[in-house]
Amino acid sequence: MPKDVITTRAKDYNQWYLDIVREADLAEVAEVVRGCIVFKATGYAVWEMMQRELDDRIKETGHQNVYFPLLIPKSFIMKEAEHVEGFAPEVAEVTRAGGEELAEPYVIRPTSETIIGYFYSKWIRSYRDLPLLYNQWCNVMRWEMRTRPFLRTSEFLWSEGHTAHATEADAEAETLNILYNVYADFAEQVMAMPVIRGLKTENEKFPGALRSYCIEAMMQDGRALQAGTSHNLGQNFAKAFDITFTDQANTVQHVWTTSWGVSTRLIGALIMTHSDDEGLVLPPRLAPTQVVVVPIYKNDAEREKVLATVATITAGWKGTLRFKVDNRDNLSPGFKYNEWEMKGVPVRIEVGPKDVEKGSVAIARRDVPGREGKSFVPQEGLTARILALLEEIQQGLFARALRFREEHTADVTTYDELKVQIERGFARAYWAGSPDDEKRIQDETRATIRCIPLDQPGTAGTCVYTGKETTQQVIFARAY
């Protein structure tokens, strides 16, 4: 497997990304279905790992999984004005079924607030029914004009949570709980991807939301990627769908709702945060295969001895390590090395006849390519050594990504400085502009306010665009 099949990041970052998706066998463009992709086994295995980790966190916070229909009556979408306006360009409709024209078209769900709102209005009657904490794993359809595998496709997979609460304070607490304890925790602890927790501006918030929060990550080209969102929907959808409850004072009130979601674009984020010109790089906590063992032999006698040693080495790994023994006889060791490097397996173990004699193995770490990342160690104590190495790799990837973000983030005080800085990364600036000012900057620079960081300096400064004094800082960047 020649390594020059991957375009370097320096030469063409966009092509590098597409090459990684293809050569790591993550996905293939489904050219027969506009804007869609086929998740190949390697890519879907990564999504399953993400799903498992996120699902555990979602359930630990008291939520239950449910599933709602894929098709939504069009009249439901029309009930919340801001919501329908935001999604209208992306909606796909079903107008015929069973050979007949439908009396009312169905919309293929772009998101599920409306149909869930309809059922919540049936299920919720009293304060005793609250909070209602549900999540669903599903697919959605948004008719995208320009697509890129994982990052933006017409159909994608995701988790979408929908909750109902008695008070605005409860809804706000839920929104921030998901942002911090589920999404940001997963991104940093499992994906090894540092994120900024922030509030979206009015221009950037979810259609129909009271407030939208997000986690924003920096990719290796300096662009931002919105990695997850959590929305306090206020009472907008509750009023549109008449979701009410009788409180303890026997008064009928509208509930306060939230929604939140992360999608398979996290796979794109993973690629662009850690991978290199040799292929995919996976953090150990997320890697479907953490360790691959490659036996090396030239004849049947060597094969028998090497495989016996491999069996002894790996005997206690089940349940401790996610591993694979690559004993395919029709491929050379060099081909196997390249394949597993391309697919991002964090650690490779090589065992040959000399290793059998010496009681040693060769260890190659994916995050440090070439000779620098390779060492020879005793077979004794190997499991503990691998576990320690996996943790070292996990922490090292996070530290490397955080260092990159810090090196490509700068404080700017003038509009000219902002225009220069967004060419290389994040521009942090004081902001007191209007939504129209924000839109003008976007039109002129293609940069947006990615978020208003929840961690603010608490000191006053001058707005980068209007010159007004303010205590609020924001992050400007170009984004995916």
Amino acid, single-letter form, for residue 336: K
As a whole-number percent, the residues of the chain with pLDDT over 90 amount to 94
Over 50: is that where the pLDDT of 317 sits?
yes
Domain 3-274 has CATH 1.10.260.30: no
User: At 443, is the secondary structure helix, strand, or coil?
Assistant: helix
Predicted TM-score of the model (pTM)? 0.95
Report pLDDT for 86. 66
CB neighbour class for 378 (10 Å; exposed up to 12, middle 13-18, buried from 19): exposed
Q: What is the pLDDT of residue 78?
A: 86
Fold category of 409-477 in CATH: Translation Initiation Factor IF3 (3.30.110)
DSSP letter string over 182-199? IIIHHHHHTS----EEEE
Q: Which residue blocks in 5-133 are alpha helix, DSSP H?
A: 13-23, 41-60, 74-77, 81-87, 113-123
Task: Give SS3 for 254.
Answer: strand
CATH 3.40.50.800 applies to domain 291-389: yes
Confidence of residue 18 (pLDDT cuts 50, 70, 90): very high
Tokens of 153: 């496709």
267: tokens are: 């796979």
Decide: 288 and 48 in contact? Cβ < 8 Å: yes
Name the β-bridge partners of 262: 159
| Segments making up each domain of the chain, as ranges | 3-274, 291-389, 409-477
Measuring CA to CA, how many Å separate 57 from each of 123, 214, 227, 368?
25, 17, 16, 31
- Tell me if residue 419 falls in helix, strand or coil: helix
Strands, E, within 98-223: which ranges? 100-108, 132-141, 155-165, 196-199, 211-218
Q: How far apart are the first and last CA of the chain?
A: 30
Span 329-369, pLDDT tens digits: 999 999 999 999 999 999 999 999 999 999 999 999 999 99
